[in-house]
Amino acid sequence: MPNTPRNSRISGFHRMSPQERRDTVAGFAGLDAAAVERLADTGNLDAGLADRLIENVVGTMNIPLGVATNMKVDGEDVLIPMATEESSVVAAVCNAGRQCYETGGFTTSLSGTLMIAQIQAVGVADPHAARLRILDRRDAIKEVCDGCDPILLGLGGGFRDVEVRVLETAGGTMLITHLIVDTRDAMGANAVNTMAEKLAPRVEEWTGGRVYLRILSNLADRRLARAHAVWHLDAIGGQGGGEAVRDGIVSAYQFAAADPYRAATHNKGIMNGVSAVVLATGNDTRAVEAGAHAYAARNGSYSSLTRYEVTKDGHLSGSIELPMAVGLIGGATKLHPTAQTCLRIVGATSAERLARVIAAVGLAQNFSALKALATTGIQKGHMALHAQNIAMMAGAVGEEIERVARTLVERGTVRIDVAQAVLSELRGA
Ligand code: NAD
């Protein structure tokens, strides 16, 4: 009935089985049987598990999983699983890794595995004195927090410190308490949220105010992952020699450091690598992305997460620093079988090691992007894979894909109408 208005108020949708939901959605969206069957194919994620991980499940969304080679992190060779739908991302990491492999690869560190939970109190009559009342109760706060999570405590984690900020806002003065908690091998959102909620009534008692929000901050700046690498001039070569590539990359960095319009794209490229590993290991991509972008704006103007300099010997030195709240436990990390396999591939036996490897990936990704941008341009490298996507969109199948894609690249015009014409020529021949 094409003219019947569609109704999104579907009573009891959440109580249906995935098959019932698929049928309901198919009716709503006019899906044919083949589309519904494809939705029902949950690939390497058990349908029952998918149905427990999130709400209203109708299927799963498969994303290609690639493995980056050539990476050496803190003297150890490592293969890096990356889940992404974007072409050239995995290749970029392999290329950057190869060009600094002989000179030692990436050196990394992590500032700690500390997370921050915030408790927002409003309507406090004497915020500065209340701040001191909270700080004076550090021992009581530690007892409440550590009492929430004996497992974490047993693993050497738990409460580390309390800080209180008096914040001026459009709605008046607020008193913001920060709980600093070592969450060890967990990302820690649930762990610290529980502590903040448990402590909130005490904060109301001590301040005389009213507590509203009790939640972690994704600006995880007590969990900074850092990576550094040196690319020798003879390894980066390229058009005009190593000096030109080096200077082009440094100039590209300086552009990003000075201009938020450029920095947004510069950092997006970094997150191409970072988010792909975060996703492959079942971690929370949004948490890491929010942390990275907030950290990039920490000085009041959005800027680059990486830096490039010239060493005293004239080589290119690159570094990165960004919050990296990832875990080996919690969320989907332990539940998704592919995430578990990815953790085995990358060989990370601690959240710290995983965070450090991911920082190296972010730097590698950025190096390759800047090198391409500063020399041949990004499109040349992208084109071969992009042309294949366009060929498939034009209807090419099997061997036709490669043949159509090659012709598009040769003609220098990668467009769907051209791909359709090439495909017709090919089939007509
Ligand atoms: P979790 O609560 O599932 O697991 C952490 C718990 O596991 C710890 O509290 C501890 O009790 C236990 N544990 C066992 N072995 C451990 C080890 N070796 N190290 C540390 N803890 C160990 O998960 P979580 O990490 O607290 O929370 C992560 C989840 O929270 C993610 O799914 C994330 O998407 C979600 N989340 C995120 C946000 C946000 O980022 N804003 C908000 C809410 C929830």
pLDDT for the residue 385: 79
Query: What is the average pLDDT value for the chain, to the nearest integer?
Result: 95
Res 194 pLDDT > 80: yes
Q: For residue range 93-106, what is the model confidence (pLDDT) as tens digits?
A: 999 999 999 999 99
Q: How many whole angstroms separate alpha carbon 417 and alpha carbon 331?
A: 44
Q: Which pLDDT score is estimated for 5?
A: 81
Buried b (16+ CB within 10 A) or exposed e, 325-352: bbbbebbbbeebebbbebbebbebeebb
Q: Annotated catalytic residue: which of 23, 46, 51, 86?
A: 86
Distance CA 387, CA 151 (A): 52
- The pocket around ligand 1, CB under 6 angstroms, is made up of 149, 151-152, 155, 157, 183-191, 216, 218, 284, 287, 327, 329-331
Statement: residue 71 has pLDDT above 90? yes
- pLDDT, residue 239, reads 58
Q: In the prediction, which pLDDT does 377 show? A: 72
Evaluate if pTM is beyond 0.85. yes
Q: How far is the CA of 41 from the centre of ligand 1 (A)?
A: 29
Percent of the chain with pLDDT over 90: 91
Please determine, for residue 1, whether its predicted confidence score (pLDDT) is greater than 60. Answer: no
Give the model's pLDDT for residue 241: 80
Section 44-57 average pLDDT: 96
Catalytic annotation present for 268: yes
Confidence of residue 429 (pLDDT cuts 50, 70, 90): low
Is the pLDDT score of 179 beyond 70?
A: yes
Q: Which of 149, 182, 185, 284 does the annotation list as catalytic?
A: 284
Mean pLDDT of 118-141: 98
pLDDT of residue 247: 96
pLDDT at 376 over 60: yes
How far is ligand 1, taken at its centre, from the CA of residue 74, in Å? 27
Residue range 369-391: average pLDDT?
83
- Closest ligand 1 atom to the C-alpha of 190? 26
* pLDDT of amino acid 428: 86
pLDDT attached to residue 158: 98
pLDDT band at 381 (very low <50, low <70, confident <90, very high): low
Mean pLDDT of 377-393: 80
* pLDDT one-digit tens code per residue, 306-358: 999 999 999 999 999 999 999 999 889 999 999 999 999 999 999 999 999 99
Residues 7-32 have a mean pLDDT of 97
For residue 408, pLDDT over 60 is answered with: yes
Answer whether residue 2 shows pLDDT above 80: no
Q: Ligand 1 center to residue 116 CA distance, Å?
A: 13
Query: What does the H/E/C string look like for the chain?
Result: CCCCCCCCCCCCHHHCCHHHHHHHHHHHHCCCHHHHHHHHCCCCCCHHHHHHHCCCCCCCCCCCEEEEEEEEECCEEEEEEEECCCCCHHHHHHHHHHHHHCCCCEEEEECCCEEEEEEEEECCCCHHHHHHHHHHCHHHHHHHHHHHCHHHHHCCCEEEEEEEEEEEECCEEEEEEEEEEECCCECCHHHHHHHHHHHHHHHHHHHCCEEEEEEECCCCCCCEEEEEEEECHHHHCCCCHHHHHHHHHHHHHHHHHHCHHHHHHHHHHHHHHHHHHHHHCCCCHHHHHHHHHHHHCCCCCCCCCEEEEECCCCCEEEEEEEECCCCCECCCCCCCHHHHHHHHHHCCCCHHHHHHHHHHHHHHHHHHHHHHHHCCCHHHHHHHHHHHHHHHHCCCCCHHHHHHHHHHHHHCCCCHHHHHHHHHHHHHC
* Whether the Cβ atoms of residue 404 and residue 396 lie closer than 8 Å to each other: yes
